């Protein structure tokens, strides 16, 4: 009853996101959270959170943290990133590369597999549909085989920053006054030695 009451006060449509929290990759959808795990079994055994490092077969696993999600239908769609949600909705079927119709997952685990033959930029869309009009949508952009291109702007900014600091250092060094060098004084001649002044033994 309490869960039903809480669901009733949620907005009919809500957006979420994908991100790392507490050392885990999580999908925030509506008021709930799903743990996200993605990996490419044919390319690497390492897991990824957002960007897929290589093309090929991808396996995505979503685990419910809240039991209420097991009584709600979950829809999964992957579309090409066309720049905006409005442009995407103009012809959703044309930009869709993978789709699974809404269904119940009583075990709380969603397994989704797809093969990406070519690199590119995509948007994952997970929609949760409830019996009381709830419709929670979580969208997360990701890339396939474009990890270096994603981080390239960061490397460019770091390089420009180091170069700017080097230029500032050279300019400061050039403008800094140089202290005059004092000439060394010639050594003093030693006093002549008078043998007569030496007492005889």
Reported pTM: 0.64
What is the CATH class of 2-145?
mainly beta
Residue 18 confidence (pLDDT): 67
pLDDT for the residue numbered 123 = 94
Nearest Cα residue to 63 out of 12, 139, 14, 126: 126
Say what the pLDDT of residue 149 is: 45
Query: What's residue 24's pLDDT?
Result: 76
The pLDDT of residue 172: 73
pLDDT of residue 165: 75
Task: Specify the pairing of strand 56-64 against strand 32-40.
Answer: antiparallel
Determine the pLDDT at residue 195.
58
Name the nearest CA neighbour of 75 among 145, 117, 134, 147: 134
What pLDDT does residue 156 have? Answer: 63
Mark out the alpha helices in 9-111 (DSSP H runs): 85-90, 92-95
Confidence at residue 152, expressed as pLDDT on a 0 to 100 scale? 46
Tell me the mean pLDDT per 10 residues along the chain, length 201.
Answer: 32 52 81 91 77 90 94 97 93 96 97 94 96 94 74 56 69 66 61 57 50
Calpha distance 166→129 (Å, rounded): 56
**Reduced to 3 DSSP states, what percent helix, strand and coil does the chain have, rounded to the nearest 5?**
25, 40, 30
Torsion of CA 83, 17, 43, 143, to 10 degrees: 10
């Amino acid at each position: 009853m309490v869960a039903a009451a809480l669901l009733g006060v949620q907005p009919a449509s809500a957006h979420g996101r994908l991100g790392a929290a507490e050392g885990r990759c999580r999908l925030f959808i509506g008021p709930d959270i799903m743990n996200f795990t993605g990996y490419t079994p044919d390319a690497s055994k390492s897991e990824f959170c957002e960007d897929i490092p290589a093309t090929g077969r991808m396996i995505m696993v979503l685990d419910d943290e809240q039991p209420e999600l097991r009584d709600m239908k979950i829809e999964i769609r992957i579309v090409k990133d066309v720049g905006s949600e409005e442009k995407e909705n103009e012809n959703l079927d044309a930009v869709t590369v993978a789709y699974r119709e809404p269904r119940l997952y009583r075990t709380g685990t969603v397994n989704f597999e797809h093969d990406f033959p070519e690199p590119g930029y995509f948007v994952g869309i997970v929609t949760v549909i409830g019996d009381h009009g709830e419709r929670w949508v979580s969208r997360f952009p990701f890339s396939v085989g474009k990890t270096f291109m994603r981080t390239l702007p960061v490397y460019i900014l770091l390089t420009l920053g180091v170069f700017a600091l080097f230029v500032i250092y050279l300019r400061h060094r050039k403008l800094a006054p140089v202290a005059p060098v004092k000439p060394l004084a010639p050594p003093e001649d030693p006093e002549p030695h008078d043998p007569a002044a030496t007492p005889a033994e």
